[in-house]
Amino acid sequence: MSRLENKVAVVTGGASGIGAACCIALAEAGAKVVIADIQMDKAKSLQSRMHALGSQAEIFSCDVTAPAQWQALMAYTLEVFGRLDILVNNAGIAIVGTIEDVSLEDWNKTIAVNQTSVFLGTQQAIKVMKDSGGSIINISSIEGLVGNSLAVAYNAAKGAVRLLTKSAALHCGQQGYKIRVNSVHPGFVKTPLVEQAFSELPGDLAEQIVAAHPIGRIAEPEEIATTVVFLASEEASFMTGSELVVDGGYTAQ
Ligand SMILES: NC(=O)c1ccc[n+]([C@@H]2O[C@H](COP(=O)([O-])OP(=O)(O)OC[C@H]3O[C@@H](n4cnc5c(N)ncnc54)[C@H](O)[C@@H]3O)[C@@H](O)[C@H]2O)c1
């Protein structure tokens, strides 16, 4: 039996980068997957790739900052697959800005997409999972653990996701829900988000960031997806409220 046989997963930001790798890996482990994103062309092409691999995948247009769209996503998932076992709160954006120069608009946007979305998703998933149990996996970042002068809003949002995760995990435990809630903290990963962020960095900062990973490179999205599959599976049955750092040694120094 596959690790995630008969399980149903929703992955936000599932059309690209880490989210897409999670969709593929969760499906390879046996799960049925809902790819939730705002980039529907990309979602559709991932769905076709997954169908070609024999996986079950549906797509759903969902802006994770909108509460009503979360409700619609949950309703759609229950309608097509009948249950929800795994939620990966992965959708995110990166906007470069220091404490001195970040605009209020960029701050609010970053908090909405990277932080409030995780609150909304976790709250909605608990509603659906409270009787049946499940695993909620929140994609934070090394930048939820250590500071980056160029990403103050991102730092603030990812740090909040780390502790929101612990608070929700404690609540689920106290209520007797069989829901585990954990965060994942990737180092830099080769995705469109990082390509965009690197292109905005001054000088040789991008090269310096790569060199700051003692393992000698940045990650492939699949190297984060394996951790997500682990947390989704029964192999992580005693893990809740924890933070898994997958960073090639970045924060070890
Ligand atoms: N790439 C990295 O180095 C890295 C490192 C640590 C953490 N992360 C986190 O991993 C997650 C995925 O990042 P990625 O690098 O794969 O980025 P990506 O840009 O490749 O993918 C992000 C996806 O989120 C979607 N998205 C953006 N705003 C959305 C919204 N409002 N509603 C729904 N979907 C939305 C995008 O359409 C896109 O498909 C993010 O939370 C990011 O902060 C990335």
Give the list of residues 6+ apart from residue 90 with CB closer than 8 angstroms, or none: 11, 12, 13, 14, 18, 19, 22, 139
User: Pocket of ligand 1, candidates 193, 199, 244: which has the most ligand atoms within 8 Å of its Cβ, to mutate?
Assistant: 193
Report yes or no: 161 and 183 within 8 Å, Cβ to Cβ: yes
pLDDT of 250 higher than 90: yes
The number of the ligand 1 atom at minimal distance from the alpha carbon of 190 is: 1
Average pLDDT over residues 61-81: 98
Q: Pocket residues for ligand 1 (CB within 6 Å)?
A: 12-13, 15-19, 37-39, 62-65, 90-93, 113, 139, 141, 186, 188-189, 191-194
β-sheet bridge partners, residue 179: 134
Which range has the worst mean pLDDT, 146-155, 190-199, 209-218? Answer: 190-199
- Specify the DSSP class assigned to residue 131: T
The span from the CA of 229 to the CA of 164, in Å, is: 21
- pLDDT tens digits for range 122-140: 999 999 999 999 999 999 9
pLDDT of 155 higher than 90: yes
Give all domains of the chain, ordered by start, each with its CATH number. 8-233 (3.40.50.720)
Whose C-alpha lies nearest to ligand 1, atom 7?
A: 141
What percent of the chain clears pLDDT 90, i.e. is strictly above it?
Answer: 94
- pLDDT tens digits for range 29-62: 999 999 999 999 999 999 999 999 999 999 999 9
pLDDT of 1 higher than 80: no
The whole-number pLDDT of residue 199 equals: 87
Helices (H) and strands (E) in the chain, counts: 9, 7
Average pLDDT over residues 217-242: 98
User: Is position 250 annotated as part of the catalytic site?
Assistant: no
Q: Which of 76, 154, 177, 250 is catalytic?
A: 154
- Percent of the chain as helix, strand, coil, to the nearest 5: 50, 15, 35
Whose C-alpha lies nearest to ligand 1, atom 43?
A: 92
Give the list of residues 6+ apart from residue 201 with CB closer than 8 angstroms, or none: 96, 150, 209
The span from the CA of 202 to the CA of 125, in Å, is: 40
Rounded to the nearest angstrom, the distance between the alpha carbon of 17 and the centre of ligand 1 is 7
